């Protein structure tokens, strides 16, 4: 009876019962957690603007629910027709950042109060889903190179800001979408091997520079091999390789984050009772976004952190489930790309806060404060629900006698 009532809703809204409810529930729970801990992270700040950021986050979360429902109602296949326009628009905005962008904390990443690099991630996923998901796609080396070029253009513009952390997300998203599409398997495996080798060479070169017994000529060559890294980026890598070398300077943020997480214990110190945050040891500028997991883990402990990880597992699993049930090639790749985007952000952010990876500016989806990124992951969720709704409808129609 309930399903019949839903199906009779006006304007075709009955199709919304086909949404992935696990995905919707996990996202709503994560956004609610985000509002609480953005409030906690900024509760002791002197600035009234910082103290009220949780209200902005709450408004974005509330609007996000309606955005998700609206996008779920729209057919993703119609939305994908605009993918090339969206991609070109993202490139224009990235160029605008370099020309007239706003500089904050040493990086130029904003224009008109908007961060185009976040928008560019979703734009790339859309255009790759359209390109690689076509029934007539050749899936040969030329298509692989075209996909590589499409990813390289925004990455190059983002590196010029500079924003290495955001640029690194594009690689795994691209490779996983190429793998899901079955495009040029040999080229794909070669790209993965080249990426692993490049990371190993960079780490080896930095290690040679830091070893006291390295000859001067070899040290100079190793320094030249990492010319593309700014000093602060190199320092962050060195801090992970040698965590006890400079704990009061370049290792300060990582060390305080680890102390916050470890001191939370099993159940945490209690909401609004995290000493590392209250006493200002966690960096105040980014405790509500990049290091919000540290605030959460200190106040809610291992149990709270585990609950958040389970919610993220539900989000990624739901995205992969949406991709798996889609019989539409672009829809399947769209789900795969968004699942990769969510996983990369969660993995890199949490690994950063516990000292496994260098400190980067990647926020935690739905929890970290950041209007552009929050809008990006909300739209990504809406696109997933669109695939879920309309792919299931297509499948049912195809299976009908």
CB 332 within 8 A of CB 182: no
pLDDT tens digits, one per residue of 354-397: 988 888 888 999 999 988 999 999 999 999 999 998 875 444 44
What are 365's two structure tokens? 């989806």
The model's pTM is: 0.91
Residue 395 is predicted with a pLDDT of 42
Answer yes or no: is pLDDT of 400 > 70: no
Q: What is the DSSP-derived secondary structure letter of residue 359? A: -
Residue 124: name the closest of 63, 166, 64, 69 by CA: 166
What are 374's two structure tokens? 């929050």
**What is the phi/psi pair of residue 111, to 5°?**
-145, 130
| Band of residue 22 on the pLDDT scale cut at 50, 70, 90 | very high
Q: Give the mean model confidence (pLDDT) for residues 118-142.
A: 88
pLDDT tens digits, one per residue of 65-95: 999 999 998 888 888 889 999 999 999 999 9
- Only one residue has tokens 């291992």, namely 302
Answer yes or no: is pLDDT of 120 > 80: yes
Answer yes or no: is pLDDT of 254 > 50: yes
Indicate the SS3 state at residue 299.
Answer: helix
Residue 13 is predicted with a pLDDT of 55
State the Cα torsion 237-241-244-250 to the nearest 10°: 0
Q: Which residues pair with 111 in a beta bridge?
A: 114
Q: What is the DSSP-derived secondary structure letter of residue 110? A: E
Answer yes or no: is pLDDT of 304 > 80: yes
Of 231-240, 281-290, 363-372, least confident by mean pLDDT is 281-290
> CA-CA distance, 256 to 261, in Å (whole number)?
9
């Amino acid at each position: 009876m309930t399903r019949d009532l839903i199906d009779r809703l006006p304007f075709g809204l009955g199709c919304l019962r086909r949404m992935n409810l696990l995905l919707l529930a996990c996202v709503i729970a994560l956004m609610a957690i985000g509002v609480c801990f953005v409030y906690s992270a900024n509760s002791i700040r002197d600035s009234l603007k910082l103290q009220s950021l949780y209200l902005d986050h709450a408004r974005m979360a509330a609007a996000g629910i309606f955005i998700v429902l609206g996008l779920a109602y729209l057919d993703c296949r119609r939305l994908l027709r605009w993918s090339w326009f969206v991609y070109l628009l993202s490139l224009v905005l990235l160029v605008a950042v370099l020309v007239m962008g706003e500089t904050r904390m040493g990086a130029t990443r904003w224009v008109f109060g908007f961060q185009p690099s976040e928008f560019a991630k979703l734009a790339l996923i859309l255009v790759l889903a359209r390109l690689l998901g076509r029934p007539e796609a050749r899936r040969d080396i030329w298509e692989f190179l075209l996909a590589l070029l499409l990813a390289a253009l925004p990455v190059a513009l983002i590196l010029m800001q500079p924003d290495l952390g955001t640029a690194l997300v594009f690689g795994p998203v691209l490779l996983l979408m190429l793998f899901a599409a079955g495009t040029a398997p040999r080229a794909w495996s070669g790209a993965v091997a080249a990426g692993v080798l490049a990371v190993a060479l960079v780490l080896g070169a930095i290690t040679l520079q830091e070893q006291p017994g390295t000859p001067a000529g070899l040290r100079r060559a190793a320094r030249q091999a990492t010319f593309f890294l700014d000093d602060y980026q190199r320092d962050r890598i060195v801090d992970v390789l040698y965590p006890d070398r400079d704990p009061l300077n370049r290792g300060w943020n990582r060390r305080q984050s680890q102390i916050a997480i470890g001191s939370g214990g099993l159940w945490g110190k209690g909401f609004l009772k995290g000493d590392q945050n209250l006493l200002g040891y966690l960096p105040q500028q980014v405790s509500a976004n990049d290091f919000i997991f540290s605030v959460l883990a200190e106040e809610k402990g291992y149990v709270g952190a585990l609950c958040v990880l389970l919610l993220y597992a539900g989000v990624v699993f739901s995205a992969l489930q949406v991709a798996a049930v889609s019989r539409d090639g672009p829809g399947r790749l769209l789900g795969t790309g968004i699942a990769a985007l969510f996983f990369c952000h969660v993995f890199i952010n949490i690994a950063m806060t516990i000292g496994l990876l260098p400190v980067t500016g990647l926020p935690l989806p739905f929890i970290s404060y950041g209007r552009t990124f929050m809008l990006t992951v909300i739209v990504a969720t809406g696109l997933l629900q669109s695939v879920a709704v309309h792919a299931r409808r297509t499948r049912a129609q195809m299976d009908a006698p």
